[in-house]
Chain A
Amino acid sequence: EAQVTQNPRYLITVTGKKLTVTCSQNMNHEYMSWYRQDPGLGLRQIYYSMNVEVTDKGDVPEGYKVSRKEKRNFPLILESPSPNQTSLYFCASSLSGIGDSPLHFGNGTRLTVT
């Protein structure tokens, strides 16, 4: 089944403890992206990747890191999480980074930082 898989679904952690949210897609998509969703703010892009070894900042990159060493994987790294990073996170991918490619989303990771 074609899908975007992100793990974990739920994560509770403490301030400053490094964490990684994994994302993998099995559709051979070139483009991958991370979004966070917060009440009243909608979805905001954190980072995106047009292809392997090519990543770029989105609208809210502060406090996050990403890497794209393989086409299928695009992990999100929080080196020192803070409570304002408590959010619902989505990984997404599309065939390409151009206008007519719909994004396919993972099921989301709900992160709580205490």
Chain B
Amino acid sequence: AQKITQTQPGMFVQEKEAVTLDCTYDTSDPSYGLFWYKQPSSGEMIFLIYQGSYDQQNATEGRYSLNFQKARKSANLVISASQLGDSAMYFCAMREGRDSGYSTLTFGKGTMLLVSP
């Protein structure tokens, strides 16, 4: 079974609007971390935001916020006030096994976001 599922292959949004990118995950480990990365057309991977499984509040970083619903095992990325530069591929990722000191980062297959003027 896939550990990270991103069901939206592509999303379109108009500039200045908000957009939500979906991510669901599957783990039986009580301790894990959830990450979002951005990959623009130039190819580099840029870390955006992190949410820990024990965090009580949703993570926020500037225009990025993470809508964390633990019971539903979802970790959706919300981008407010979209900009043209937000057009990119977005990856959700999970790291398990914090307490054991072992972890590997598993990625979803990504969502391509296109922001139009």
A residues whose Cβ falls under 8 Å from a Cβ of B: 33, 35, 40-45, 48, 50, 58, 88, 90, 92, 97-105, 107-108, 110
- Could you list which residues of chain B lie within 8 angstroms of chain A, going by C-beta atoms? 31-33, 35, 37, 43-47, 50, 52-53, 91, 95-98, 101-110
Q: How far, in angstroms, from A43 to B101 measured CA to CA in the complex? A: 22
B103 with A99: CB separation less than 8 A: yes
Q: Is the Cβ of B107 less than 8 Å from the Cβ of A100? A: no
A112 to nearest B CB, angstroms?
A: 15
B105, A108: Cβ atoms closer than 8 Å: no
CA distance A103 to B37 in the complex (A): 10
**Most central of B32, B37, B101, B105 by chain A CB within 10 Å:** B105
The answer to whether A102 and B47 touch across the interface, beta carbons within 8 angstroms, is: yes
If A42-B91, A43-B107 touch, whether A99 touches B32 (CB-CB below 8 Å) is yes
A/B interface sample: 14 pairs, CB < 8 A: A33-B105, A40-B109, A42-B108, A50-B102, A90-B45, A97-B101, A98-B97, A98-B101, A99-B32, A100-B33, A103-B105, A104-B47, A105-B44, A105-B47
B103 touches A98 (CB 8 A): yes
* Least CB distance, B45 to chain A, in whole angstroms: 4
B104 touches A102 (CB 8 A): no
Contact of B95 among A99, A108, A110 (CB under 8 A): A99
